[in-house]
Amino acid sequence: MNHPPKKPSHHTERSGVLNKKRKPAFRRNVHEKSCGVILYRIDHDQMDYLLLHYPGGHWDFPKGHVEKFDEGEQATALRELKEETGITEIIFTNAYREPMYYEFNRGFKERVKKVVVYFLAKTKQVEVSISFEHQNYKWLPYEEALETLTYENARDLLRKAEKHLLTEGELTKKHEL
């Protein structure tokens, strides 16, 4: 006995016309963690921050995913900094650990809830060897870095870093925060 072919379950038949019903929006929650560095250097009494230009067009700080073999958050941040910039000689600033939280959709199936933990660090290295993951880099003074950063949450991180450095005595020049 021949049966007519079954129609997909998301279709209905009315008056001989197939009408699509919307599939329910199902997104699986995914939690991700990355670590990054707000890196600065002081050269001739001017302090500059390192920003990277990502392929999506935005400017941000170096950062990357935590791997199972990483021995901690700072180890992840240092590994990612080395991979993305070639910079290896840094000194982490004491008592600075700033998490940033955000969410985004990855395709139609995943809702990513992400935390990126940033550390503040100083370097004397000037040369940057950007990875294939980036298009460009810039060392910029505070005000220019603030204007160049694409996202407000990154600008907030920079403001907190600058305030921390002023409070800890690393900076002598006052900026409006």
* Chain segment 139-162, per-residue pLDDT in tens: 999 999 999 999 999 999 999 999
Which residues make Cβ contacts (< 8 Å) with residue 166, sequence separation at least 6? 174, 175, 177
Q: Cβ neighbours of residue 77 under 8 Å, at least 6 residues apart? A: 35, 36, 37, 63, 117, 118, 119, 121
Q: Which of 75, 85, 66 is nearest to 139 (CA)?
A: 85
Q: If we measure between CA atoms, which residue out of 37, 115, 121, 31 comes closest to residue 81?
A: 37
pLDDT for position 8: 47
Provide the 3-class DSSP secondary structure of residue 162.
Answer: helix
Evaluate whether 97 touches 117 at the Cβ level (below 8 Å).
Answer: yes
Q: What is the pLDDT of residue 5?
A: 52
Domains of the chain, first to last: 28-167 (3.90.79.10)
The pLDDT of residue 94 is 83
Closest CA to 52 of 36, 34, 35: 36
Express each pLDDT in 63-92 by its tens digit: 999 988 988 999 999 999 999 999 999 999
Single-letter residue type at 127: E
pTM, entire model = 0.77
Residue 93 sits at φ, ψ, to 5 deg, of -80, 130
Token code pair at residue 137: 């880099």
11-24 pLDDT, tens digit each: 444 444 454 555 54
